[in-house]
Structure 1
Amino acid sequence: MADVLKVESLSVYYEKNEAVKDISFSAEQGKLIGIIGPNGAGKSTLIKAILGLEKALGKVTVLGKSVKDVREKISYVPQRNQIDWDFPVLVEDVVLMGRFTHIPWYKKAGKKDHLVVTESLEKVGMLDFRKRQIGELSGGQQQRVFIARALAQHADLFFLDEPFVGIDVTSEEIIIHLLRELRNEGKTVFVVHHDLSKVEQYFDELLLINKELVEFGQVKEVYQPDILSKTYKGSIQLFGANENIMVVSD
């Protein structure tokens, strides 16, 4: 399958500190990929650098082009704590923001755009909440609305930063089901994730980083104690034949 994303020697510096160091990899179309590593490993920084939201050294190509040339093909869902939930905006207006890359600046959203908003809200089970203020929703509902915004964009490449943090079980099940559907449609989805017990269940491939790239490949190949130990710089304890993993720092 064709590569949708190619990252070459990507590095990010904060003053003299290296947050992401010389990371290179390529990802194929139709994959659900987990990005895992310890706190401070540079997972969010890596995503932002790929998207051009962080100043970085290196080269990133999406569908063979620079990010700025295919911006409408890329959708990003940031961490919930980066969003101002008190801003007075309706649920349907948040999702409509996903259509802005498809609407010329001199035009208003049309019938097709509003239909896409309706379809996207229906997919995440939030259609009945379309007239609610975003701040009135629970954490899981808010996350589902932002997933709907990503769906409305009709992108080919998705980046989600910790989408399962602080949400209810129902919302998590809805979201992972949608991500699998996107994968099955040939989309490529990257998810920053922290719950090691679910990576085998959720992902096709894993990208393990700790500022540097530790390993990237199929889950069954890289989800191994020695690789996890190298990633988290600690010893690994397995419980229940890899179903549960505890990382113990040295």
Structure 2
Amino acid sequence: MLQVKNMNLFIGQQHILHDINLTIQSSGELIGIMGPNGAGKSSFIKSILGEFKATGFAFWNDKPIKQQLTQLTYIPQRNQLDLDFPITVKDSLITGYYQTSGWFRPMANEAYIKRDQLLSDLQLTDLKDKTLNQLSGGQLQRVLLAKALMKDSDLLCLDEPFVGIDFKSEEIMIQILRRLRSEGKLILIVHHDIHKAKAYFDRILLLNRSVKFFGSATEALSDENIKEVFLKEGVTL
């Protein structure tokens, strides 16, 4: 179970997040986090994970998240990746493994098997020897997901994973995420495309500095909520 209590985030003089309170049972769900530009969606994820120093509390299964960060998975926006470092696709997945196991330890044979399976699942096998800067945006996003899945987490947080990628990559990724949901994982996804959200998410958190709505995708994206949360901000749908 994910619990966020009385979370507030200030950056400089700006009050980014206002009194966020949220409880999500971890029984296997895809949760969309949506709102207009500047609503604090990415800041909310980073505050949960402790990257931003928000006040309040964030718990995973009744323990502070900051005490169990190695057990959680965070996939940042693609533009935060350093593509100048000459690493191949297959070696990038290895670094995902070592982030959990600790560096300078021999890699277990099971980890190699898992890497190869993830390369296959995300249709990256033919690209495994390419360096990251040789990939398209969609291919790179699939690598980020595969790398993150080298560790087995019950809570996954993805920040705008579908921005600027091709249809094939998006379809491959959403199928993998649905499979993870069926395995009981809780998956939080910062997302902007209203037109696809109902098909992707079980529930949606509408956020604009504070929680505006949290419920089923159909209810969240009612005409009334879209008008209240998005159209008042001048967002083009």
> Is 2:201 the partner of 1:206?
no
Identity across aligned pairs (percent)?
39
> Is 2:132 the partner of 1:134?
yes
Across the aligned residues of Structure 1 and Structure 2, the Cα RMSD in angstroms comes to: 1.8
> Is 2:58 the partner of 1:48?
no
Q: What TM-score does the superposition give when structure 2 sets the normalisation length? A: 0.94
Question: What is the aligned partner in structure 1 of residue 11 from structure 2?
Answer: 14
Superimposed CA distance per residue, residues 137-195 of structure 1 (whole angstroms, 9 cap, x where no aligned partner): 11100000001012111111111111111111000000111111111110011111111
DSSP 3-state at the match of 2:123:
coil
DSSP 3-state at the match of 1:208:
strand
| Aligned counterparts of 1:246 and 1:104: Cα–Cα separation in 2 | 45
Q: Of the two structures, which has the highest relative contact order with CA contacts closer than 8 Å and spacing of 6 or more?
A: 2
Question: What is the aligned partner in structure 2 of residue 155 from structure 1?
Answer: 153
Superimposed CA distance per residue, residues 8-37 of structure 1 (whole angstroms, 9 cap, x where no aligned partner): 111110111111111110112200010000
| Aligned counterparts of 2:48 and 2:208: Cα–Cα separation in 1 | 16
> Is 1:35–1:43's contact at 8 Å kept on the other side of the alignment?
yes
Question: What is the aligned partner in structure 1 of residue 59 from structure 2?
Answer: 61
Q: What TM-score does the superposition give when structure 1 sets the normalisation length? A: 0.89
Structure 2's unaligned 5+ residue stretches are none
> Is 2:36–2:233's contact at 8 Å kept on the other side of the alignment?
no
Question: What is the aligned partner in structure 2 of residue 82 from structure 1?
Answer: 80
Deviates more, 1:82-91 or 1:32-41: 82-91
| Aligned counterparts of 1:222 and 1:103: Cα–Cα separation in 2 | 39
Structure 1's unaligned 5+ residue stretches are 237-244
Residue correspondences, number: 236
Runs ≥4 in structure 1, deviation > 6 angstroms? none
| Aligned counterparts of 1:235 and 1:36: Cα–Cα separation in 2 | 13
Question: What is the aligned partner in structure 2 of residue 25 from structure 1?
Answer: 22
What is the CA-CA distance between 1:115 and the residue it aligns to?
1.7
> Is 2:46–2:52's contact at 8 Å kept on the other side of the alignment?
yes
> Is 1:210–1:232's contact at 8 Å kept on the other side of the alignment?
no
What is the CA-CA distance between 1:221 and the residue it aligns to?
2.3
Superimposed CA distance per residue, residues 101-149 of structure 1 (whole angstroms, 9 cap, x where no aligned partner): 4424452322122222111111101022112101101110000000101
> Is 2:83 the partner of 1:94?
no
What is the CA-CA distance between 1:86 and the residue it aligns to?
2.0
